Structure 1
Amino acid sequence: MAGIAATGVDGGAVLVSFKLSSTLLYLAAIGMLLIMNKIQPSQLTEEQRNASRLFNQLRKEIHTMVCIGNPTTNDLKEAMEKVLALDKAYPLPLLGEMLEKFPKTVEPTVWWTLHQEKRQTKGYDVRKNNNRNGWDDKLEEEMREIVRVLKRKDEEDYLRLGEKALKLNKVLAISGPLLTGLEAIGSAFVGSPGHGSWAVVLGVVGGAFLSVVNAFEHGGQVGMVFEMYPSNAGFFRLMEESIESNLEEEEVEKRENGQMFEMKVALQLGRSLSELTDLATSSSIKGEAIQEFASKLF
């Protein structure tokens, strides 16, 4: 409409109607962009998708505990703590509290309590494994190396990418409303004496740039991409704390069974047991020079 108004129609109701319509539409677009950039729909979707997955996983854990039978008061307390931790990490959107869409720093998403991951596998007789509950010095050192790789490569890399995605999202979120405001000013002065072509440039060319910015930000799902990185970094942080909490427990009978724990770690990283051992061995030999990531899943 700003372009049509600049085609040479001098004065009259036609020029005024096109200028007014263009300006009002740009002003309406500012309001829509401010709401969209505040809520970040794609990021919100990713948050709630993760929350649904984790709540469903928790529901299955509780169901399994009930099916096994004889749940204790400690089991009930632990389940409640998990629910509250999840609810705090992923509050319901648009109802009282919403997660910060543009945090100052990128940190791994935390949806657990540390002590909930520190428990012994029920029903295992430690006497069958020389009272070591499946643990030995080699396995302990292997787990320590896995933690070092997770911190040095996987978690650090996802946080670095998260910072880049956050900066890009901030630039796009600011550029959209700013460009729209300039375009609204330009379209209001189209056809006015003394303002020449600059008003047409702001009203027409600026609108084209706005379309590109808006399409890249929301069509490219930049908010969802950013949310993915802290969430994945949180997954690695959870693995690190789970391994460390077992290693810090001096009484091995209170740890999770070593053989089962090693298998669980391997599955979570998308590796076989032999690949997990090779990763730990190469890490201890090469040290900081190792280029391989611990996880093969994402």
Structure 2
Amino acid sequence: MASLQVLSLCSCKLSFSSPNNRRRAIMATNNVPKFRKTHLSLSNLANGGSMEELMLKNDFTSSNISLKEDISESEELVIGKLYAIKETVADRVEMHKNICEQRKNWNSLLLTSINTIILGAATMAGIAATINANGAPLIALKIASTLLYIGATGMVIIMNKIQPSQLAEEQRNATRLFRHIQKHVQTVIDIGSPTASEVEDTMNRVLALDKAYPLPLLGVMIDKFPSNVESAVWWPLRGQGNDHEEGGIEIDEGDEERFGNGWTQELENEMREIVGILRRNDEADYLRLGGIALKLNKVLAICGPSLTILGAIGSGFVGFGSFEESSWAVMLGVVGGALASVVNTMEHGGQVGMVVELYRSNAGFFREIEEEIEFNLRERDVRKRENGNLFEMKIALQLGRSIAELRNIADKGHDIKEFGSKLF
């Protein structure tokens, strides 16, 4: 009845409107949406069987709605966990960023303070040598110079032990890697339907990164003077295998089930060659350079405290014995302090510890690419692998190359001397 009243009102307005308005009204009535015909009628509704049919349809619809609600609740739980991980990772980013600034200040402030103390002690030893009489000024200068040298020696030993420049580099790397995880989590939330395995994998990556770059100094600090330099590892282990053998992973060329999802025999051979190039050239070269920097850092770390100790001994014997004996004491007290300040400036001003960590992390970058390639090649079900075309493009971008350049260096074979990466 309501619809009939609306139509009667519209017809009344049309009868008293102008011709232009009539044309507009006619066009409007032509654009009225047409309702679908239904099989329901008053006679059917009066039938009990139709009512039972409607009840069954309503029950089926409500069951479908509840099923969809269950699925959405599980997805919401996974997304909620990912958001919790993202918030934790954001907190880690701020923590590592702030601690990086703190330890960078340690390096500059301690270096300036230690060099000032050493040069002050050397100056006092030189002034004490100009006083011929064995009086109070001579004794006071000698004691002050010796105490300054002893204090500087303790500070140099502590600074060499913790290597503030290397600590700052560790926190910079951790900040960058945690930001990468943060962006990865946001991408998973935005573009796909995350699963529980994605949550577990992300948590493992966060815990592995916490272990690789610890925040505390006592007990868990990375050894700053190891016997040899090894690649940094900040990702969870992806299974065992012959992933560090020279030849890489063997591929069964007759296994046709390995191909699909963008993977071909040529792509697998290309990836295997890339692994060999990175291991023989890039990773090995950075480990070699890291070993050289580590040896230099060890020598400087030993020479710095040794020179300050010699300066303390020399300043303590200034004014004793003959002129020749006193001159040697002055030489140790003055020249030893000058050399100690030079050595400390080379070690900490030149940030040799940071260079060691830089080479170590670069070698870890190539090792991560190698393990990622080998992990995909070990997976025999290509549906569980990352898409081959996408994976090839990602590896090329990580190495700073185009896809054509990546294929070119892979085609050159085992004896290629060119580095796989063009970034660093």
| TM-score (ref. length: structure 1) | 0.91
Partner secondary structure for residue 241 of structure 1: helix
Q: Within 5 Å, give how 1:1-298 maps onto structure 2.
A: 1-94=124-217, 96-115=219-238, 132-194=260-322, 195-282=325-412, 284=413, 287-288=414-415, 290-298=416-424
C-alpha deviations, 1:69-106, integer Å up to 9, x for none? 53222111111111110001011032542111111121
Contact residue 114 and residue 242 of structure 1 kept, 8 A: no
d(CA) in 2 for partners of 1:26, 1:108 = 38
When structure 1 is superposed on structure 2, of 42-51 and 88-97 the one drifting more is 88-97
Contact residue 159 and residue 229 of structure 1 kept, 8 A: yes
Paired letter, 2:308: T
d(CA) in 2 for partners of 1:96, 1:66 = 37
Give unmatched runs, 5+ long, in structure 2.
Answer: 1-123, 240-257
When structure 1 is superposed on structure 2, of 94-103 and 132-141 the one drifting more is 94-103
d(CA) in 2 for partners of 1:60, 1:188 = 60
d(CA) in 1 for partners of 2:216, 2:197 = 31
Partner secondary structure for residue 132 of structure 1: coil
Q: Does 1 or 2 have the higher relative contact order (CA < 8 Å, sep 6+)?
A: 1
When structure 1 is superposed on structure 2, of 56-65 and 253-262 the one drifting more is 56-65
Contact residue 317 and residue 326 of structure 2 kept, 8 A: no
Which has the higher Rg, Structure 1 or Structure 2?
2
C-alpha deviations, 1:166-190, integer Å up to 9, x for none? 1110111111111111110110000
Partner secondary structure for residue 197 of structure 1: helix
Paired letter, 2:193: N
Contact residue 114 and residue 241 of structure 1 kept, 8 A: no
Please name the residue that 2:91 is paired with.
Answer: none
The Cα shift of 1:115 comes to 2.9
Paired letter, 1:227: E
Contact residue 232 and residue 364 of structure 2 kept, 8 A: yes
The Cα shift of 1:196 comes to 2.7
The Cα shift of 1:35 comes to 1.2
Q: State the identity %.
A: 64
d(CA) in 1 for partners of 2:131, 2:139 = 13
Contact residue 3 and residue 200 of structure 1 kept, 8 A: yes
C-alpha deviations, 1:210-249, integer Å up to 9, x for none? 1110110011010000000110000000000111111111
Partner secondary structure for residue 115 of structure 1: coil
Paired letter, 1:188: G
d(CA) in 2 for partners of 1:85, 1:277 = 32
Aligned length: 281
Paired letter, 1:294: G
Q: 1:265 to 1:36 in 2, by over 3 A?
A: same
Partner secondary structure for residue 97 of structure 1: coil
